[in-house]
Amino acid sequence: MQGGPFRDITEGMRETMKIMAVRTPKRHSPLSNAPHPAMPSGAMLPSITLIGLGNWGTALALALHAAGISVREVVVRNRRASDRRMSEKIGARLTTLQHSRLDADILWICTPDTRIAETAQDLAHRVAQLRRTAASARTPRLQQKPARPIVLHSSGALPSAELSALRTVGASLASVHPLMTFPRKNVAHISLAGVPFAVEGDARACREARKLVCALGGEAFVLRAENKPLYHSFGAFASPLILALLTAATEAGVAAGLSPKDARRRMRPIAESTIRNFFADGPDKSFSGPIARGDAATIARHLDALRPHPKLANIYRELSRFALTSLPARNRMQMERLLDPSRDGRKKKSASPGRLPASTA
């Protein structure tokens, strides 16, 4: 059977699970300013400068503040009223890069992926400028800030090499990605406790990043740089594409005569039960429905009903074909023939009127 896009991408998911073999021990530490058990006795948590205050930057700022970690500066392009309120809430100085001090132990970039490399270049120029100013003021070298800064970014798809412009100022670099969704900027209710963080980069930066993740109550694991795009696709399957699937289910409910609101309300018990069963018992023991019992007649009825809705029919067919290869199913051969995409094309061709004979001169 030819593999469809869902099968091709999801095969990658299996490989993704193999790359996350090296994990730090699971810890459930309180969010406090007390030294973390993983740190040497008397160790102090580092201070932070945040660059960018979008959905993730806001969530991180609040989590750092709750953990008693000092956020010295919040660096933004434009100082909006909402940014000012957030900075005041966490006791940080709101500034632009041009006027930043960059005197924290760690600079954490929270900008969109498309701006990370540009931000790294701008930071490198600013660090060099601050050093020249300090040197002209004859500030002792050991007191000059930032000295060998640690710089992090939070992209799930891009490696720490995206920050390579900062190597010119001796920075140690890492990427630290939270495997969590932050759909809105009003994220005060989101906790980072128990959230997995993928860490990749220089040894020194990764070491400090793991300390921060532990202090935030998260769980750090090591990821190879070349596996980041595949890892990020794993995250896409686990959150936004689940939403896409639920949206498709809503559209099917609307086609069946429900309002969108009623469709979401009616599907909620079965959707939540399915997710709970998956995490409690695994996929095989949670799988049910016509594919599991080999009910080809019901599948045929579904496909006929979905024919006027080609987008939904395509999603249904590809997911069903993936289920046949990955989950317990009966009557596989008949189901494979029924779900073959070319079968639908043959049905259309046979239903279309025959061609008129070509005219002759």
Q: What is the pLDDT of residue 7?
A: 46
Q: What is the pLDDT of residue 342?
A: 78
Closest residue by Cα to residue 100 from 116, 70, 76? 76
Please check whether residue 9 lies inside any domain of the structure. Answer: no
Closest residue by Cα to residue 86 from 110, 103, 108, 61? 61
Using an 8 Å Cβ cutoff, are 86 and 74 in contact? yes
Please check whether residue 231 lies inside any domain of the structure. Answer: no
Across 40-54, 72-86, 110-124, 323-337, least confident range: 40-54
Please check whether residue 352 lies inside any domain of the structure. Answer: no
Please check whether residue 12 lies inside any domain of the structure. Answer: no
pLDDT over threshold 50, residue 1: no
**Same structural domain for residues 252 and 182?**
no
**Same structural domain for residues 178 and 87?**
yes
Residue type, position 321, single letter: R
Using an 8 Å Cβ cutoff, are 84 and 130 in contact? no
Please check whether residue 227 lies inside any domain of the structure. Answer: no
**Same structural domain for residues 211 and 75?**
yes
Q: What is the pLDDT of residue 141?
A: 52
> What is the average per-residue pLDDT within 22-51?
53
Residues 44, 179, 73, 165: is their CA dihedral positive or negative?
positive
Q: Based on the structure, what is the number of domains in the chain?
A: 2
SS3 category, 69: coil
Helix axes 310-326, 240-255, angle to 10 degrees: 120
Give CA–CA dist 130/344, Å, rounded.
67
Using an 8 Å Cβ cutoff, are 192 and 62 in contact? no
Using an 8 Å Cβ cutoff, are 228 and 156 in contact? yes
Could you read off the pLDDT of 190-214 as tens digits, one per residue?
Answer: 789 999 999 999 999 999 999 999 9
Residue where one domain finishes, among candidates 190, 222, 254:
222
Per-residue tokens: 173: 């670099």
**Same structural domain for residues 35 and 170?**
yes
Instruction: Give the strand pairing for 196-201 and 219-222.
Output: parallel
What CATH code is carried by the domain that includes residue 160?
Answer: 3.40.50.720
Domain interval for residue 299: 238-343
pTM: 0.81
Q: What is the pLDDT of residue 329?
A: 95
**Same structural domain for residues 198 and 244?**
no
> What is the average per-residue pLDDT within 3-18?
45
**Same structural domain for residues 192 and 141?**
yes
Residue where one domain finishes, among candidates 222, 250, 285:
222
Q: What is the pLDDT of residue 45?
A: 87
Please check whether residue 361 lies inside any domain of the structure. Answer: no
pLDDT band at residue 348 under the 50/70/90 scheme:
low
Could you read off the pLDDT of 263-283 as tens digits, one per residue?
Answer: 999 999 999 999 999 999 999
278: left (phi over 0), alpha (psi -120 to 50) or beta: alpha
Could you read off the pLDDT of 136-160 as tens digits, one per residue?
Answer: 876 655 455 557 899 999 999 999 9
